[in-house]
Amino acid sequence: MSKPKLALYWASSCGGCEIAVVDLEAKILDVAGFFEIVLWPCVMDFKYKDIEALPDGDITLCLFNGAIRTSENEHLAKMLRAKSKVMVAFGSCAGDGAIPSLANFYDKDSIYEYVFKTCPSLEESSRGVYPETKTTMPEGEIEIPVFWETVKTLDQVIDVDYYIPGCPPQTFQIAAAVEAVIDILQNGKPLPPKGTVLGAGDKTCCDDCTRVKSEKKIKKFYRPQDIITDPEQCLLEQGIVCMGPATRNGCEALCMKANMGCRGCYGPPEGVLDQGAKMVSALSSVIDAQNPEDAKKIIDTIADPLGTFYRFSMASSILRRVQKKNNK
Amino acid sequence: METQIKSKENFNPRIVAFLCNWCTYTGADLAGVARMKSSPSVRVIRTMCSGRVDPTFVLKAFKMGADGVMIGGCHIGDCHYSEGNFKTLRRVEFLKIMLKDFGIDPKRLRLEWISASEGDKYAHVTNEFEKELRELGPLVLQE
C-alpha cells in the first residue's frame, strides 16, 4: 500500500510555522516515514504543476499556514483544498489572520505608497516604482500575483476541517496532533468533528497561568519597559496589558513565565466571536473608575488598544478591517 | 436584520437599542403607554442589565446593518444589581475609543441613563439620536 500523502504550504506567513514543524526534531523522521511528503516549498523543491496533476482528494493531510493576502495565496488554497481530504489551518495566520492581517488597518493604496514611495530605506533609483501585475518582456508576458485590499483567513476562502492555533503552534502540541493523526489513520479510528481546534485547550490562558491572582483594580496601564514587575503576581493587576483573559490556552502560559503579558497568539477561546471585544469587556470590569472621565484617562494610558487587542485576530474579527478615512 | 443596500436618499436609520429590564425598558414602555411620539427606527432588545451588553453585541449589531446602537440603563446609583451600570459606562467609553480607531464615528454609539418614570426622556433621546444618524448618513462597512 502506498503511503498517505502530506502537503505543507505557506501562504502569507513568516516561516515560523515551518520552524515549529522542523523543531519536531527526531519525530520529523516518523512523519517522513509514515507520510509521503508531496509539497513543502520551504524545505524541499516541488513544482505546483505536479500537485495540479494529482487527482482530487489524493492528498490525505494538508497543513496550511499563512493568511490569504494575494491571488496566488487564494489560488493555492483552492487547489490544495480540492486535492486534500483533510485541510488544517495551521498556525494563527491561517486561522485568524494574525500579524499579516494588521494590514487591514490600511488599504492597498496606502501600503503601496509607503512601501514603494515614502519608506526611508528605499534606494532613490527605485523610489516611486510600483509593481505591475503584468509586464511584457522579450520572452513573453510575465505576471505577478495581485495584492488584495483586505487580508483574509483561510476559512474565508475555502472550507477548513481543523484548526491548530498558535504563533507558532507549540512543538509539543504539533507532535501530539501528528501522533493523533497517525493513530487515526493506522487504526481506522473516526476523525474528530469538523471545525475542532486541535493542539489547544478550550479555556483561557489565565487558566494555565500560575501567577497569583487577586481582585483587580487598575489605575494606570504600563508598557513593559516602563515598570519592573513582580514575578509572582498577575501581570494585569500590575497594569501590564495581558491578553490572557481573552486568549485560548494551549501554550502553557509561556509569555507570562518570561514576565511578558500574553500577546494573544492562540486567538479567541471557545465560543468567543471577537477577541478584541472580549478584551474590552474584560478590561472594563477591572478599571478602577466610577465616571466616564476617569475611565477615559485610564484607557488612554493603553498604547494602541486596537492594534494590541486584535494583534492576532483582525481578519477573523467581526468588523474584519478598519474603515477607510472617507467612510464614516 | 437583513443587510440591504443603503442609499443616502430615502434613508431610514436602523437603531438597535439594548435596554435594561428594570429602568429603560420600562421607561420605553411608559413612553408608549403615554402615547409619546418616539422614533420608529428603534429595534429594542431587552437585557436584564445594561451590564449584560457585551461589546461583541455592539460590534455585531453594526456588522449586521445597524446605523446606530443605543444602550439604556438605570441612573448611576440606581442599578438593580448595584454596580452593573458602572461596568457599562466603562465599556462604552472603551468602545467609543475602539470604534474611532476602527474608522466608525463614535457618535453612532450612545449611552443613556433613563429611569422607569422617564418616558419623555426616552422619546426625546431616541428622536434626537435618529436625527443625528440622519445627518451622519448610512453606515456602509467595507469587507
Domain boundaries of chain A, sorted by first residue: 5-99+151-187, 100-148, 205-309
Phi, psi at residue B44, to the nearest 5°?
-90, 135
Q: What is the pLDDT of residues A152-208, one digit of tens each?
A: 999 999 999 999 999 999 999 999 988 888 899 889 889 999 999 999 999 999 999
How high is the pLDDT of residue B44?
97
How high is the pLDDT of residue A324?
79
CB within 8 Å of B36: residues ≥ 6 apart: B119, B120, B122, B123
Q: What is the pLDDT of residues A207-228, one digit of tens each?
A: 999 999 999 999 999 999 999 9
How high is the pLDDT of residue B132?
96
Contact B93 A299 (CB under 8 A): yes
Contact A284 B97 (CB under 8 A): no
Mean pLDDT of chain A: 93
Q: Which residues of A touch B76 (CB under 8 A)?
A: 290
Q: Which residues of A touch B140 (CB under 8 A)?
A: 327
The candidate with the shortest Cα–Cα distance to B40, out of B11, B77, B15, is B15
pLDDT at A111 over 60: yes
Low-confidence ranges of chain B (pLDDT < 50): 1-3
Q: How far apart are CA A16 and CA A37, in angstroms?
A: 19
The mean-pLDDT minimum among A1-5, A85-89, A124-128 falls in: A1-5
Instruction: Please indicate if any CB of chain A lies within 8 Å of the CB of B89.
Output: yes
Please compute the mean of the pLDDT values over residues A236-246 and round it to a whole number. 96
Q: What is the pLDDT of residues B5-25, one digit of tens each?
A: 566 667 999 999 999 999 999
Domain A5-99+151-187 CATH (choose: 3.30.1300.10, 3.20.20.70, 3.40.50.720, 3.40.50.700): 3.40.50.700
The three-class DSSP label of residue B76 is coil
Q: What is the pLDDT of residues A129-140, one digit of tens each?
A: 998 888 899 999
Instruction: Please indicate if any CB of chain A lies within 8 Å of the CB of B139.
Output: yes
User: Which residues are registered as beta bridge partners of B15?
Assistant: B42, B68
How high is the pLDDT of residue A178?
87
Q: Which residues of B touch A284 (CB under 8 A)?
A: 55, 87, 90-91, 94
How high is the pLDDT of residue B64?
95
pLDDT tier, A287 (very low <50, low <70, confident <90, very high otherwise): very high
How high is the pLDDT of residue B112?
97
CB A276 within 8 A of CB A97: no
Count of beta carbons in the 10 Å neighbourhood of residue A102: 18
How high is the pLDDT of residue A132?
87
CA dihedral A40, A42, A46, A52 (to 10 degrees): 60
Instruction: Please indicate if any CB of chain A lies within 8 Å of the CB of B77.
Output: no
Alpha helix stretches (DSSP H) within chain A: 16-22, 27-34, 48-52, 71-83, 92-96, 108-113, 171-187, 205-208, 254-257, 275-286, 292-299, 305-309
Q: What is the pLDDT of residues A9-22, one digit of tens each?
A: 999 999 999 999 99
Here the cell at position B54 is 457585551
Here the cell at position A159 is 472550507
pLDDT at A325 over 90: no
CATH number of the B15-136 domain? 3.40.50.960
How high is the pLDDT of residue B70?
98
Contact A280 B87 (CB under 8 A): no
Contact A319 B141 (CB under 8 A): yes
Q: What is the pLDDT of residues A31-72, one digit of tens each?
A: 999 999 999 999 889 999 999 999 999 999 999 999 999 999
Contact A285 B89 (CB under 8 A): no
Instruction: Please indicate if any CB of chain A lies within 8 Å of the CB of B31.
Output: no
Measured between CA atoms, the residue of chain B closest to residue A304 is: B101
Sign of CA dihedral A9, A12, A15, A21: negative
Domain boundaries of chain B, sorted by first residue: 15-136
Instruction: Please indicate if any CB of chain A lies within 8 Å of the CB of B98.
Output: yes
Contact A292 B89 (CB under 8 A): yes
ipTM of the complex model: 0.92
pLDDT at A76 over 60: yes
